Amino acid sequence: MLQVSRVQDRLVAQLTKLKELSGLSLRNLARQSGLSSSSLSRYLTGQLVPPWEAVVALCRVVGRDPRPLRALWAEASKAGAAPAPRRNDLPADLLDFTGREAESARVAQLLRTTGAVVIDGMAGVGKTSLAVHVAHRLAPSFPDGAICLDLQGFTPGQEPLEPSAALGRLLGALGVSHPPADATERAALWRSELSRRRALVVLDNAVDAEHVRPLLPGAGKSAVLVTSRNRLVDLDALAPVSLEPLPNEDAASLFGRASGVDLTEPEAVTQVLRQCGGLPLALRMAGARLRHRPGWTIAVLAERLRDNAGRFDSVFGMSLHQLDAVQRRVFRLLGIFPGTDFDAAAACALTDLTPDRVNAALEELVDAHLVQEPSPGRYRLHDLIRRYAADLAAEEEPDPDAALQRVLNHYLAQAVARDRMLPLQQRKETSPGDPAKAMAWFDLEYPNLIACFDTAVRLGADEVVAELPQTMRAWFFRHRGTDDQLRLLDAAAAAAARLGRDQQRASLLMDLGFARAAAGRLAEALAAYELAGQSGLDDDQLAAALALRTGFVLRDLGDLEAAQAQFRLAQGLFEKTGNRGGRSQALAFDGWVTLHLGRPQEAAELARASVALADGPARITGLGTLGVTLASEDPAESLRTLHEALQLAELPHNKAWCHNNLAVALRIMGSLGEALEHHRQAFELLEPLAEAQLEFEFLHAYAETCRAAGRHDEALASHERALSLAQKLGREPAKAGSPEESAT
């Protein structure tokens, strides 16, 4: 490991020299070399060994010959970094997969040669089964794992997954927990991440070319396999493989395997195959029906199928006939489940049955091929069967909305219980439990929680609409930039108003304002805070938090006197409620604006008072404020204080803020080289976060340091980026160096 580190250090040193020769910022160098800034930052910090093409691109920017670096690069590449854990979330392969030899070989060949293929065909023809079957066979050739994502293009009751949301989940599968908010930047980051890996990506159930285009990998050795009911003729990058229904010989073989009987009645077999139309889904269901009726012959099955009106309804209907009343009810209610895959507990809530009865019903439904079990304990329905089940529910279920309300209440209760296990600064104590497991539950169930929220809005279930987003506060704080957060909070605040819950509405509006402020939408954030204040707050703790957050926005808008008044109002309210952490925050930001109002001694006193009141990570804001305040009069104490803040920081945006403070302090001290390095680290941490406000502030601080260092082109580029961001957000650029609030 020591040898590996030394080799990588030498390569990093050479890459750093190239960056210094360029005289460009990380972002500008990335742009000119055609690399993503997130990948470039990893190359420059030794987290990744770049591909040779990236080294060549960097040399080209500065006009240097890359060949002298070839041997060092090859040595570093051979040594490599520690391999990441292999991921494989493919659904289970079908044990009775039959036929499709030519299609399987064609898909595998295209994946090996072109790296991209789309399987198209009608519903039920076996597109997903073929994709999963081939993916399992090829998985050993992709050492960085296999990722599978259902795009919900034709899932009944669900909207297709938007490309931006899909990219967020795909990046999350690669370990990128804070993807950029902008869809174009997400797509670029996705391509960059795949370019340095050899991974297999299965994108199931795409609507059309535009649905899947942003999700395709770029250069590199990763491969993508897409399925769709439509032919994606507008995507030249995807070679098509179209599936037709199984030919009779393969259809008969699959039917025989599914039924477990000898096919000794050729005429009856022909009739069954005709009714199933060569669709693997229908053949498995018909075979399962016969297997569960040992007294039947194939001729009896054919006759029963013939008695039904429609071809596909006949197959589905025959499978239903083997179910008892409880199993049939479970099946039809699963057709209206507001989500994708589910566990037995959710099915219990939906059906209002005991776990034993639900588990027994699910086993029967899986055996009948009416329900799939893609992984142990997780279930889902094929889109065709889901639509059929939903139609049955509409016809037969006396009160489907009551079933939906039960499952909404179930997910709300589960979310509340797990949220209470997660630490938040304003929470005095947490419930027993593993916070990591609680967060993993939110990760797993996130699509279902969003689907439940949308269902609650449709049903007018204001209780769920108002409360569910609050249970996700900690999850959203760690996954900033999630597309759904703003719309959930907006709808939740409206629901709380309809319920007459003024305090809850105010709390939700404060969360909405905070999310808008983090995105740089300060005027909208202030509007949300003003609405919260109009709710007639009678909770001093809530009123104190509102004053603090209002002060943040006023500070970022440049109205320092008004911001200071809010911070001092918050101090008094926090002191009244005995909240030392909140008072510490208010004092720290009071000190910050006091410093920028030209009173450094008073600012230092306020910052010291802040630090004295807080413990642990709650000290970060006070320490950061104090460190910048002391930069000119006591450099040694300033750096000690700022490094202490950095050591306490755990969340990426807090770490970035600490690095930016260090950069500002070092600039004041005249240590411009070190200052630029801390700016680089701040931007590196900020890159994957949806923190427009922090980026806004960091750009100005960086421009000042570049100007002091004589790097006028970079200073100008940083100001231009800030101006562009200001225009995008519809506001004026903020003053340089403003800090961001820590987790509140």
C-alpha span between 142 and 201 (Å, rounded): 10
| Strand arrangement, sheet containing 239-242 | 146-150, 200-206, 223-228, 116-120, 239-242
In angstroms, the CA 271 to CA 279 distance is: 14
Q: Would you call 374 helix, strand, or coil by DSSP? A: strand
Task: Look at residue 148 and tell me whether its pLDDT is greater than 70.
Answer: yes
Asked if residue 585 lies in contact with residue 541, where contact means CB atoms within 8 angstroms, the answer is no
Model pLDDT, residue 730: 64
Sort strands 239-242 and 372-375 into parallel, antiparallel or unpaired.
unpaired
DSSP of 471-494, one letter per residue? HTHHHHHHSTT-TTHHHHHHHHHH
Coil, strand or helix at 534: coil
Q: Is the pLDDT of residue 425 over 60?
A: no
User: Is residue 78 predicted with pLDDT exceeding 90?
Assistant: no
Quick one: which of 627, 531, 613 has its CA closest to 579?
Answer: 613
The predicted structure's pLDDT at residue 529: 94
| 150 DSSP 8-state letter | E
Q: Could you give phi then psi for residue 47, rounded to 5 degrees?
A: -70, -25
Average pLDDT, the chain: 84
Q: Quick: pLDDT tens for 454-508.
A: 999 999 999 999 999 999 988 887 765 566 888 999 999 999 999 999 989 999 9
For residue range 98-139, list pLDDT tens digits in order.
888 899 899 999 988 888 899 988 777 888 889 998 988 888
- Which amino acid does the sequence have at 515? A
Mean pLDDT of 394-416: 94
Instruction: Compute the Cα dihedral for 280, 283, 289, 290 and give only its sign.
Output: negative
| pLDDT tens by residue, 684-737 | 888 766 677 788 888 889 999 999 999 888 888 888 888 887 777 666 544 433
Query: Which pLDDT band holds residue 663 (cuts at 50, 70, 90)?
Result: very high
Determine which of 95-109, 200-214, 312-326, 403-417 has the lowest per-residue pLDDT on average: 312-326
Highest mean pLDDT pick, 120-124, 306-310, 446-450: 446-450
- In the predicted structure, residue 26 carries a pLDDT above the cut 60: yes
Q: Give the confidence band of 740 by pLDDT, cuts at 50, 70, 90.
A: very low
Which one is predicted more confidently, 84 or 372? 372
710: left (phi over 0), alpha (psi -120 to 50) or beta: left
